[in-house]
Structures are given as C-alpha cells and as structure tokens.
A and B are shown apart, each in its own frame.
Chain A
C-alpha cells in the first residue's frame, strides 16, 4: 500500500513566525512531490512542486526534499492569517501503467493567529 503521511494538526503559529509542515512517503520510487493548499470549502490549489533533493524557494515558501529519508517538508516564512488552511502533501507514484496518479496525504491544518 503506497502511503503519504502527515500530522493532521492543527498546527498553530503566531503571525510572522515560520510554519513547518512535514510529510513522509512510503514508496522509494516516487519521483515528483507537491504541496497543495486547501481553504475550507474550496478545492486544492498547487503552491509548490519539487523533483530533486534539496531546497526550492518561491517567495515565502520553501519546499525541502530528502529522498533518502523519504521526507518532504514545506516552510512558510512570515506566516500570515491568510495562510490559515489545510496543506496537502502529494506524491507521484510511478508503477508502470499509471504514471500520473498522485497520492495525497490527509493534510495538516494550519492556523496563523494574529
């Protein structure tokens, strides 16, 4: 069973702090990794993708990937109340016949307090 694990939270941080969201995955063959943000009652929105080990920065967001540890994280700097949402980790599982299928974690709920 291919799995993607996240702490469900809620994770609460004060405004201006760094929020750190973590995700582990079970399939060593995974090649592509994504973070989605989902506001309550809305559909998921892609915010970051990462394909190779190391860090990838985009504005206030940094994605970190460690394939040896099967670990991917998302850092949000200078957190804002508008960042309050559920963050979904998704991993591409390539097992031959279906190369496009993303497996999602259950999401971590982030709350940024003013």
Chain B
C-alpha cells in the first residue's frame, strides 16, 4: 500500500482484557518496528522484525507483550491482561532496509480503563 496502515485507530480496553493491534507495512519493506509512545515522550522501542524473523524484542516491557509477523508482511502486537500503564500510542514503522529512516503508521491509541 501507499503507507503504513494500523488498526484499530483507537482502542479502549478494560483492565485485564487482551488486545491485538495490527500493522500493515509498506509493500516490499522488509524491516518492521513497533514503538510505544507515552504522552510528551519520544517513541520507545519495543521490537523489530526483518521479514518474518523477530531479531530484537528487548524493548517488550513484560511477557504480557507478544508480537508476530508470520509471513513477513502484516504484523500483530498482542497485549495480554492489559494494565493501566499500558495506555499509550503504539506506533508501527517500516523501512526498506536497515539504516534507512522509517515510515510510521498513524498509530493505535490504547486506553486501559
């Protein structure tokens, strides 16, 4: 597609609920990244895929967070048993190669109540 597409745009979850956030990167972009951005802060790295391989998941804050990209295109970030501190904007970005700048999607704003 023309850009990075993320869905849903907004998600309200009750504490303890599981959520799944979807990212559809730019066609042909091999690198895909997930970031978490709290209000007034810069994006914080969560995880990185090169095609279907998850090369770095060091930024995932706990084992409640899980990401996958099984066919090397669409990716899903799953958060189990959501907690209030998970409330943030989750940004997906893709890049044609490493060391290139990213193109970000519009993000998913998650609010846990």
**Which chain A residues have a beta carbon within 8 Å of chain B's beta carbons?**
4, 31-32, 34, 36, 42-46, 49, 51, 88, 90, 92, 97-107
Contact = CB atoms under 8 A, between A and B. Distances in A.
Given A31-B99, A43-B91, A97-B55, A102 B45 contact: yes
Given A43-B91, A92-B99, A101 B45 contact: yes
Given A44-B91, A98-B56, A100-B33, A34 B45 contact: no
Given A100-B48, A101-B56, A43 B104 contact: yes
Interface of B: 31, 33, 35, 40-45, 48, 50, 55-56, 58, 91, 95, 98-107
A30 to B, nearest CB: 11
Contact of A43 (B44, B95, B107): B107
B102 A46 contact: yes
B48 A46 contact: no
A92 to B, nearest CB: 6
A104 B58 CA distance: 15
B42 A99 contact: no
Given A43-B91, A43-B104, A92-B99, A98 B43 contact: no
A107 B101 CA distance: 17
A99 B99 contact: yes
